[in-house]
Structure 1
Amino acid sequence: RGRLSRATSSRMSELPMRVQGNRMSTAYTTPQSKKPSFGKLSIPKPQSVTSERRTSFFGARTSGASMPRNSTMSGFGGTEKIKDSRPLHDKSFVQQCIRQLHEFLAEHGYPGTLSTKTLQSPSTKEFVKMFEFIYRQLDPSFEMPNSKVEEEVPAILKALRYPFVLSKCSMYSVGAPHTWPQALGALVWLIDNVKIKWSLSKQELLFSDFCEDGDNMEDGAGYNKLFLDYTAETYSKFMRGGDTYDYEDDTFITKLKKFYDVDESSLSVMEEKHRILSEQLERLEKESQTDRLMTKRMERMKLQTDLKQLQNYRSSLESFKTNLENKDSELNNELENAASHLDALKHERNELQQQLQNQKFTPADVERINREKRELEQTISGLTKSLEDAEQHKWNEEIALAKVKEKAELKVSEYNKLARKLKLIPMSAENACGRDFEIRPFDCASGTMVQQKTQIQMLLTKLISDVEEENTRLANMKLTLEESSEQVNSNILDKSNDLKQLREQIRKLDEQLDCEMQELAREEEDWAGEMKSAENHQKLLEKKVNYGYDEAVQQLKAAQQQYHLVLQETNEERRTVANNLASVFTAAADHLSVTEKCLEDLHCRVQRVCSKAVEEDQAAVTKLRETLKSFVPKANSL
């Protein structure tokens, strides 16, 4: 049914009808299960699976100057080199591309290990794995060859019309700082192509009815001839002005029946069988739970992985909580000690205040003592602040030292891990040859560390020399493999450069650690000198306070003797002041009575003026009302 309906409805998709007409019946069917397609003649047959090189929807992946120009994603023609306008040497842009690559690989189930540190400078093997995983999103049947990968990847990018050049030499050291941004840009461009393909596959394409079931296309030359004749006749009639093709449709169906030997008597039986089989197929599809079971299994595996990660995170949180509890207990002990010390100081201060209250001083002595006390308090507060700043600086330096030590321990652990991978640790390892290549932690003495470092460097140097001799011997044995030997030599050169860089970084870190230790020792000596000078100053101030106290006692005795004389003079002055105040109060009372009388007269005058003004205002208001009354009738008459 679908065969004839599609064959006869192909005219409807060419041009709209000028006149409405009845289409031919679609009740006829053929016993074949394959369906013709409108675009059959323009679609080539798929290549054989056993072909040497597979193709994707982007077109053939060929390398060299004879690369085809009919790729679906082709947007850059010719062989002209285009300058890359992306800021690939900008660190922020590179980090953004790394995050985009990490998110894409993590979301789509990348089988390898993923970490931001790995993506900062991956090896050639890891780059090839990521490239193969991304390209399989475009061509699921793609398989990366085992040899000449450095030629295959640029050829694939060139076949996909990658607008920029990724050289063959850059594939030998992908993780280098000068080549990794270009390779990263190529991966991000490939990811964008994958997203474009997915977005296009989700859209409804033109003639989608004819693109369904692409595997069930007609292969017979006879059918092609019949369909071409039918199309030519209907199109010729359409060009002459016709819009109905009943005769051509009947003729085409008759020829199809003869071509496929259709038995009309078995059509009803075939339709019934088709209906029964369709119902069985729908029932089986509903009952099938294989896909759901696989989905649930995948979800269970993901949940188990998440559970392991959460358990690891919980264990790390528990260890962190234990450390915090230990620090909290230490801080509580220090706080209790400080509180007890503060209580003792408060008690001593109360005793001193009580003693000070019991003493008898003049106001001048009290002011002088308070001034000296304030000066001493300011000095003490300044010294306390400087001491706190020094302690804070010391704490910061200790934290920085701990971070540097932690980084150094991390480097040591990375070295030991690498040595284990290279089978150099323990002494019984395959490549150790009974020698100890392990670097111990930093708890031992510096002399032992230097000796251990020198010994390990000598052993590593000897091991490197042995490896180089072995490589030389193997190179002499395999002179025929020149291309492979060049690759190995280039890789060894890159690794030696990386090793030199790591050694230079370790030397710089050691120098920086020594400088920081010397600076910390100098600062501790400065702090000790400042503390000693502060203690000397405190002792000097205590001597001055005691000396001032003796002088104050002597001055108090002299002041008591002068007190009686001053008291007599004060009594006489008090009597004089009382007489003067009495005379002043009498004059003020007389002035107040005179002022009150003047105010009363002024008040009476103001009241008289206000009454006159109110009467005048009332007369004016009366006149305005009369004028209004006379104006209203005139306005109404108008």
Structure 2
Amino acid sequence: LGFSFMICIHFMTNRVTNTSSLNIPKPQSMTSERRTSFFGARTVGASMPRNSTMSGFGGTEKIKDTRPLHDKSFVQQCIRHLHEFLTEQGFPGILSAKMLQSPSTKEFVKVFEFVYRQLDPTFEMPNSKVEEEVPAILKALRYPFVLSKSAMYSVGAPHTWPQALGALMWLIDQVKVRSNQRKQELLFSEFCEDSDNIEEGAEYNKLLLEYTAEAYSKFMQGEDTFDDVDELFISKLKKMYNVDEALLASMEEKYRILSDEVERLEKESHTDRLMTKRMDRVKLQADLKKLQSYRSNLEAFKGNLENRASELSYELEVTGSQLESLKREQNELQLLLQNQKFTPADVERINREKRELQQTITRLSKSLEDAQQHQWMEEIALSKVKEKAELKAAEYQKLARKLKLIPVSAENACGNDFEIRPFECGPGSMSQHKTQIQVLLSNDLISDVEEENSRLANMKLSLEESSEQVNSNIMDKSNDLKQMREQIRKVDERLDSDMQELAQEEQGWAAEVESVENHLTILEKKVTYGYDEAVQQLKAAQQQ
């Protein structure tokens, strides 16, 4: 059906429902439910533009959704209505307003299945292809707008959730309409038999279609009242439902006669003073029994209050004794705190010694770095001296080669080894070189070489001794440093353990004091409240 025809059906259905001329309403069924459409807050009347024609019944133009689905306030209002509906109907899952702001596809399908089951309790959502099933269900229910299959893949997106929310609101309206129709069916089901067969038949459909077409034609021509069409339709409905007007008139007359009789009897009962006094006597006797039972209840309640007051007084005494013991324990703990082993002065002294040891470690570390730097410089100087000795030896070897003293097979060597090998240990080698050089070379050259070798040997020995001294100093300092670190570690561990023990003891004392104070406050409040309540109830009982 086109959009104009759906407006016509909606308008004429409301006209039939609101008609007061027919005392027996027509029955409702699934066919009438399918004829009801949802158009939001659209009104039909004199203010509606009537520029359409009857040719609109066969149109296939898509309907534009006029609801402000992209308005945030409207969307929030729809979400509130959806939340209220799901809460009232007993939604089984976890329900929150935050979840309805941007639900997932799984959550939307679960909500849709729950709402649709209000229309069809036997419905079961398939496990696969739910993206195709939901639009197909809406299309089968004649949802006037389009919910695409692609929108089901991202229902919670800001651009698709308003459309899905609009579909849910339309479905909820269908559920409400169906529930109202069921109530009407239950209310008026006794007035006619086999009404479903009448409404589902072709005769009823033809009659309703004729009435709808004629009334809508007059409405499009500018008329606002359809009394003649309504009267004709009502008369035809009476014939269809076999309404006996004579029986209705006789039943109304019988109701009037019975009403007059009841009114007369009520007036006579008011004029009969003896009956009135007897009724008053019965009422007073009933009131007396109630007062006696109430008095016995008050006495029992008074005894309960007295027992409760005695129990509260005993509990108050016990609480007072517990409070005194806790106060004594608090005083003992305070004395223990004052007489503890480590005082704040001791803690300050330990911290001061710790700082001094750290300064000593820093100073020794700096001395160690200086000694290492000095050792490095001495090693550099020794390497330079070695390089010089090697250069001298190389010059000697070069000069000896020029003089043909080396190698052993040289011309002037005469089978003697005049080659000087650097860093050869032992006095025998040096004396052998000296003897050979003294024999073969001049005295001056021999003395210079000897002095230079002796000087270099002495320098080497002195450097080795200084290096050994520096290494021994480094080892001593390292051992001292390790001992000081071990002492510092022990002092820190002892300080930390002492501080932790003090903190734990203070926390325990504070927690115990706080719990005792809280318990005392609660007990005082309970005692005061119970005593005041008992006094008020006793006063009320005495007054009564």
Q: TM-score, normalised by structure 1?
A: 0.23
Rg (Cα) greater in structure: 2
TM-score, length-normalised on structure 2? Answer: 0.26
Higher relative contact order (CA 8 A, sep 6+): 2
